[in-house]
Structure 1
Amino acid sequence: MNLYKLGKLVCSLIFYPLYRIKVTGKENIPKDGPVIICANHISNVDPPVVGITNQRDVYFLAKEELFKNRFLEKLMKSINAFPIKRGMRDRNALRKGLGILKENHVLGLFPEGSRQKNGEIGKGLAGAGFFALRSEAAIVPCAIIGPYEKFKPLKVVYGKPIDMTGYREQKASAQVVTDRIMEEIRQLQEFHSEKSVIT
């Protein structure tokens, strides 16, 4: 068993029962080819949660601050995370991310760049749009609906891939693409939050 699978197993054993994780829309994640999963960011635990709710291995761009704590550093590395400087302007990290997509892997992004502790969807940084435009990856929005409280349900919802054809043909700006991605995440959050209230 490699380090990723071991880390995924350990995180699954801890987080699934602790947060009663419920996953919706797994079928929306392509089984092969390059994929970018874009999720909202409400907790430092978001990367492992996205990792364990995917059948495919996910590589993460995570803020470099998470690698300064020994425990978190080991956790991040165990789920294929690599650091990026705040603001997604780290050229080395951007190149590495594109390389991962060229090899037909899954890249996990949190476009907001920092946690939104109130649970609302914040402004996304242009980095997500950059990866979407510079690759042929399928763009899958993901809404993490918390809060992260012990033994209270946490929802992880994957939406259908966003059609990037028009944006790529028109050479849209990275920020315009990111804004569209964040809107899709917002819609997922609103729909599934309302669904919880109704049921």
Structure 2
Amino acid sequence: MTEERLEARVLAIWQTRRARWVYRALRVVVKAVVRSYLRVEMVGAERLAVEGPFIIAPVHRSNLDGPLVNSRCPRIVRSLAKREMFPGRVGTWISAMLGAFPVNRGAGDRRSLQAAANLIGRGEPLLVFPEGSRQSGHRVGEIFGGTAFLAARSGVPILPVGIAGTEEAMPPGARFPRRVPISIVIAEPLPPPELEGGRLPSLQRNEFTARLREAMQVAMDEAVERASSMAG
């Protein structure tokens, strides 16, 4: 399936009532699991309760990261996901029902990123993992410039997010999460970089990407400290 056809199919699925019902039902399940089983603390949750579109930019250590952050946002949040998360008709249906949107991995597919920018243009919050694939440890890895491109093209702020504990709770290959302290810190929003003549020059993109990485690291450091305190 071509990229254009896949994106069109995902959008068509998402526009159905069933998709919205499944998304909301799954969010209720995640909230119930968090309350009854996981030990999760979130700082700055009020920054998710704002009107208008914005980009959520968490560190990525576990498959728990996206669901935990999204479950605390009072609005529906779309998420960028690697194309491999949309295998065949059934896989595409499941991922679309979860609010995911396909994008190629790596430095950034401009056509896919423009399609993602169109989602933001609809007024929807969008979750993007700037590190791309899952990383390990407490240091924020190299992040791609696609997040800066999205923010500049859409003119929306970015919320840097640090998450500690999810890697220990559900490492790669784990089927069920362990009950360990998890801390999520949502930092102050970063205003988007400004376009010049409709473009984002490489220098500005790199400078903003460095600022975003630094803000994510500060949030990560606080999350690690808080998770350690929770472990007592």
Rg: which structure is higher?
A: 2
SS of equivalent residue, structure 1 residue 168: coil
CA gap of 1:77–1:45, structure 2 versus 1, over 3 A, is: farther
Query: Structure 2 counterpart of 1:173, which letter?
Result: Q
Counterpart in the other structure of 2:12: none
Q: Residue 28 in 1 paired to residue 28 in 2? A: no
Q: 1:2 maps to what in 2? A: 21
Greater mean deviation of Cα atoms: 176-185 or 107-116 = 176-185
Q: Which moved more, 1:95-104 or 1:168-177?
A: 168-177
Report the Cα offset of residue 36 of structure 1: 0.5
How many aligned positions are there? 197
Letter in 2 for 1:151: R
Matches within 5 A, 1:81-92: 81-87=100-106, 89-92=108-111
With 2-11 and 127-136 compared, the bigger mean Cα shift is at 2-11
Q: Does residue 1:154 correspond to 2:185, yes or no?
A: no
Contact 2:138 2:220 in 1 (8 A): no
Deviates more, 1:146-155 or 1:62-71: 62-71
Q: CA deviation at 1:176?
A: 2.3
Give the residue type in structure 2 aligned to 1:23.
M
TM-score (norm 2): 0.74
Q: Structure 1 unaligned runs (5+)?
A: none
How far 1:10 moved relative to its partner? 2.3
2:194 aligned counterpart, secondary structure: helix
Code of the residue aligned with 2:151 in structure 1: it is A
Report if aligned partners of 2:114, 2:150 keep a CA contact under 8 Å in 1.
no
Aligned 1:135-146 pairs, distance under 5 A = 135-146=154-165
Cα-to-partner distance string for 1:64-121 (whole Å, 9 max, x where unaligned):
2233399976653333111211115334431221111112210100000011123431
Q: Is 1:53 aligned to 2:72, yes or no?
A: yes
1:24-173 equivalence runs, <5 A:
24-29=43-48, 31-68=50-87, 76-87=95-106, 89-146=108-165, 147-149=167-169, 150-164=178-192, 167-168=193-194, 173=204
Distance 1:134 1:42 in 2: 27
TM-score, length of structure 1 as denominator length: 0.85
Q: Specify which of 192, 204, 208 is matched with residue 177 of structure 1.
A: 208
Structure 2 CA distance for partners of 1:70 and 1:116, relative to 1, 3 Å: farther
In the alignment, is the contact (CA less than 8 A) between 2:152 and 2:195 conserved in 1?
no
129-138 or 17-26, larger mean C-alpha shift? 17-26
Write the letter of the residue equivalent to 1:154. Answer: I
Higher RCO (C-alpha under 8 Å, 6+ residues apart): 1
- Quick one: structure 1 residues 22 and 7, their matched pair in 2 at CA, closer, same or farther if it must change by over 3 Å? same
Calculate the aligned-residue CA RMSD, in Å.
2.6
1:179 partner letter? A
Cα deviation code 1:123-170 (max 9, x no counterpart): 100101101111121211111111342111111211111133xx3167
C-alpha distance 69-160 of structure 1, shift in aligned 2 (>3 A): farther
Q: Aligned with 1:87: secondary structure?
A: coil
* Unmatched segments (≥5 aa) in structure 2: 1-19, 170-177
Work out the CA distance in 1 between the residues paired with 2:95 and 2:66. Answer: 8
Whole-Å separation in 2 of the counterparts to 1:49 and 1:72: 21
Identity %: 28
